[in-house]
Amino acid sequence: MSTPRRLLLVNGPNLNLLGTREPEIYGRESLADVEALVARTAQERGYEVRAVQSNHEGVLIDAIHAARTDCAAIVINPGGLTHTSVVLRDALAGVALPVAEVHISDVYAREEFRHHSFVRDVAVVHVIGEGVAGYARAVRLLLDVVTGLADG
């Protein structure tokens, strides 16, 4: 079966608030801006995007499971679940798709509790602290991986 030309974009809890508060940390762009940027960047390479944001862990898990059959890869900013969720990590490992982990802020320059990521070693691409533009770089790097897998 050929690889689907679709990416899943997952944004975790509180990222619906992007652009409304803490611009010094997260910038001024909204979640809609992020989703449009990712769609545009994927489109350049002939991929479409299914975007999900939720404040509920189970909704994110279900979206990740659904991607197993119809997406080529997953771009995820898990928000605070990065630092707490074995469940999210297990879901990503379980679907065995290539994953890009994105963080808008430089988590390593912030509080100690943000330095650990449960997702880090199930992701093949990591883009940390590059602002919203980091999502576009993550898409490009991830599609390089996907294309390499398809060719190999």
Measured from the CB atom, is 45 or 83 closer to ligand CA2? 83
Q: State the burial class of residue 109 (Cβ atoms within 10 Å of its Cβ: 0-12, 13-18, 19+).
A: exposed
Nearer to ligand CA2, 5 or 120 (CB): 120
**Does the footprint of ligand CA2 cover residue 137 (CB under 6 A)?**
no
Contact predicate 58/33, CB 8 Å: no
- Using CB under 6 A as the binding rule, whether residue 54 contacts ligand CA2 is answered as no
Q: Tell me: does residue 103 bind ligand CA2 (CB under 6 A).
A: yes
User: Considering only residues 4, 6, 14, 57, which one is a binding residue for ligand CA2 as defined by CB under 6 A?
Assistant: 14
Closest to 60 (Cα-Cα) out of 32, 26, 99: 99
Q: Does 107 bind ligand CA2 (CB under 6 A)?
A: yes
Of 56, 83, 103, 126, the catalytic one is 103
Distances (CA, A) of 28 to 19, 31, 39, 71, 103: 4, 10, 19, 30, 15
Contact between 21 and ligand CA2 (CB under 6 A)?
yes
Catalytic residues: 26, 103
